[in-house]
Amino acid sequence: MQKDTVNLLVLADPAEPQLKMLDPLRAMTNIVVGQSPELFEQAAPVADAMLVWSASRSLVQQVFAMAPKLRWVHTRAAGLDTLLFPALVESPVPLTNSSGVYSRSLGEFVAAAMLFFAKDFRRMLRNQAAGRWEQFDVEELHGRTMGIVGYGDIGRAAAAQAKGLGMQVIALRRQPDKSRADNLVDEVMGQSDILELMRRSDYVVVAAPLTPDTRGLVGAAAIGAMKPSGVLINVGRGPVVDEAGLLAALRSKSIRGAALDVFDQEPLPQDHPFYAMDNLLLSPHCADHTQTWVDDAMRFFITNLGCFSRGEALANVVDKQSGY
């Protein structure tokens, strides 16, 4: 059903440049922007929708409690681990996220990380800096196996890169049946098969969201099951991987290396031992920060807002109980 006007709360710094992209919508949308509960006192009681653009969980909780007529909440983030709170989870209000908006860039980071180790770019740079001409053998990714822990949008983006490089792909999912028709995957395993996936994979890509079930999923035992030549790549959430177990494996050289875009603590402390590891590729949680990534997120929201205004189905409705 068409609604004449949508009352929209935008939890964001009013100076954020992407908010200007909402200006053409103001003829049919009452938009209130702010970063404190006081700014929403009049608008919240009649609000239809909420955009969580750049706000703390505490602010979202407070404004959500002030808005009894809300019919939709959207978050700019893809991950939900810092947003979900009991009142939102238990409410009938649908929640959508930006899953898929950033996945392509993360898939490319995965490909770059695999090539970094297969071609030993660190050795090339070291020799170049030393003015040393030293030929050595490199590896092909063709014919190697990528294991993916958490086969959602990011996992699929990584799988697409792997297939383009001639690799085999094994995916680990909580519900394996959902992936059987996917032509990017050669085999789908259940979560209980994680040790088998780790043993068989040359490159393990962790792309799982952070939930109570996935916290510590890639633990010391799973890392210990990896091949000595194996590389672990985490583009999901830091706490899904046992950081202490990974650090021990990197120090002992029981695996070839790791590439990390996410960490238990962010920003990573300056004295963290990861900085000193010569078998680690470290990205400061910016592998998806393309020149247009924030604009892309706003465009996705605007498209979804159009669906909401017309009474059509929303894209990316998440399962609040599962956390993704």
CB 317 within 8 A of CB 71: no
> How buried is 185 (Cβ within 10 angstroms: 0-12 exposed, 13-18 middle, 19+ buried)?
buried
CB-based burial, 90-111: b 16+ in 10 Å, e otherwise = eeebbbbbbbbbbbbbbbbbbb
> How buried is 83 (Cβ within 10 angstroms: 0-12 exposed, 13-18 middle, 19+ buried)?
buried
Q: Enter the tokens of residue 7.
A: 């009352």
| DSSP SS3 for 10 | strand
φ, ψ of residue 144 to 5 degrees: the values are -80, 170
What span, in angstroms and rounded, lies between the C-alpha atoms of 321 and 92? 12
Which residues are catalytically annotated? 237, 266, 285
Residue 84: name the closest of 315, 318, 302 by CA.
Answer: 318
Contacts of 164 (CB under 8 A, 6+ apart): none
Contacts of 102 (CB under 8 A, 6+ apart): 78, 154, 288, 293, 296, 297
CB-based burial, 6-17: b 16+ in 10 Å, e otherwise = bbbbbbbeeeee
